[in-house]
């Protein structure tokens, strides 16, 4: 079983997952140190950066990647382009003969239907959401943003997001024309995905010349910053796993044991709840955490404009601080 989408050896070469995709064939039941990321690309010209993101993450060795592309996104980047970029990057890094299945699988709407024949067979968007530790939508076009905010699920990408377990964090990287970004609907949609879905918004850039020639905000965050952010999530995920291992190895003290509730030493990855993702108990809201100021600044200095921000506001200028371990621990999906 190709758990990490890679092969062991002097270097870890990314390998395409077999079809049809089954999560259990690509993810072991116990943590293996691999951080699994689904990158969703949508119909923005910034999708041309997907090969760069895929190449950088594939060279990590500790990050496994699957790509989901909308029909419009394949106009800018597709399986062939991603394969060529990854193969080119690895040619000079290894003396090994590169395998024919080298690369990262790019899944499309056609795969959703062609790989499913009858009831009981794996459903692609469900298997991918079971597999993922993190989902990144980069770029997120105005169209896809509107679909996510409205709860639509008419393609593989939006169906995956709608079926996603609330245990899994999501990063949205908007990319659109300046006037589309400044449209009132866009601010409304961003507010919904931040406050109601609790997704993270990274970008867009505050200015610059867009591909269409217009100048202003709307460009996707630099792809290197996106890779950096994913690597930070991977690092914090690894820290969390190490903490859990240490907790398991600490012998329990009898005076700390609850006589009614038994102490469990097993801390596996939380099971994926069945569709439609209802939990056994209510998750705490940000307001219930008693956080003063932006939740994303927990443990950080209060900014000067704190009075203008509420506990549900994702402040883009403080994104770096959002990635701190204190913030990670404050999230219920991070083990709160």
- Hey, which residues are catalytic here? 125, 212
Residue 226's CB is within 10 A of a number of other CB atoms, namely 24
In the block, tokens 């939006």 appear at 158
Phi–psi pair at 330, nearest 5 degrees: -80, -10
The H or E element spanning position 156 is helix 156-163
Neighbouring CB atoms inside 10 A of 242's CB total 12
Neighbours of 243 (CB within 10 A): 13
CA distances to 63, 69, 71, 199, 298 from 318, in Å: 25, 29, 33, 15, 11
Kindly list the distances between the CA atom of residue 279 and the CA atoms of 108, 214, 282, 288, 330, in Å, as whole numbers in the listed order: 30, 45, 7, 18, 19
Instruction: Determine phi and psi for 67, rounding to 5 degrees.
Output: -115, 135
- In the DSSP assignment, the letter for residue 202 is -
Residues 103, 87 contacting (CB under 8 angstroms): yes
Angstrom distances, CA of residue 128 to CA of 66, 108, 114: 8, 12, 16
Q: Whats the size of the chain, residue-wise?
A: 336
């Amino acid at each position: 079983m190709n758990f990490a989408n890679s092969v062991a050896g002097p270097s870890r070469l990314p390998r395409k997952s077999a079809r049809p995709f089954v999560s259990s064939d690509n993810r072991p039941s116990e943590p293996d140190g691999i951080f699994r990321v689904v990158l969703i690309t949508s119909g923005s010209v910034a999708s041309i950066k997907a090969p760069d993101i895929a190449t950088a993450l594939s060279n990590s060795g500790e990050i496994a990647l699957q790509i989901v592309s909308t029909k419009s996104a394949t106009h800018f980047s597709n399986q062939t382009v991603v394969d060529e970029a990854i193969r080119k990057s690895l040619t000079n890094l290894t003396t090994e003969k590169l395998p024919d299945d080298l690369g990262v699988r790019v899944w499309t709407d056609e795969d959703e239907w062609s790989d499913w024949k009858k009831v009981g067979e794996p459903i692609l968007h469900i298997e991918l959401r079971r597999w993922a530790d993190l989902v990144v939508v980069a770029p997120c076009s105005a169209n896809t943003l509107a679909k996510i905010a409205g709860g639509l699920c008419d393609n593989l990408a939006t169906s995956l997001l709608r079926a996603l377990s609330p245990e899994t964090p999501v990063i949205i990287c908007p990319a659109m024309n300046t006037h589309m970004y400044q449209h009132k609907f866009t601010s409304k949609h961003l507010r919904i995905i931040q406050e109601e879905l609790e997704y993270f918004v990274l970008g867009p850039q505050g200015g610059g010349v867009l591909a269409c020639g217009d100048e202003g905000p709307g460009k996707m965050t630099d792809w290197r910053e996106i890779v950096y952010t994913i690597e930070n999530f991977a690092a914090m995920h690894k820290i969390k796993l190490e903490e859990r291992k240490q907790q398991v190895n600490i012998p329990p003290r009898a005076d700390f044991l609850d006589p009614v509730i038994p102490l469990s030493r097993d801390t596996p990855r939380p099971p994926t709840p069945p569709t439609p993702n209802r939990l056994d108990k209510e998750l705490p809201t940000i307001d219930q955490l008693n956080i003063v100021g932006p939740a994303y600044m927990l443990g950080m200095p209060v900014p000067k404009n704190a009075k203008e921000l509420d506990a549900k506001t994702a402040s883009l200028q403080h994104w770096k601080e959002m990635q701190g371990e204190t913030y990670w621990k404050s999230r219920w999906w991070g083990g709160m």
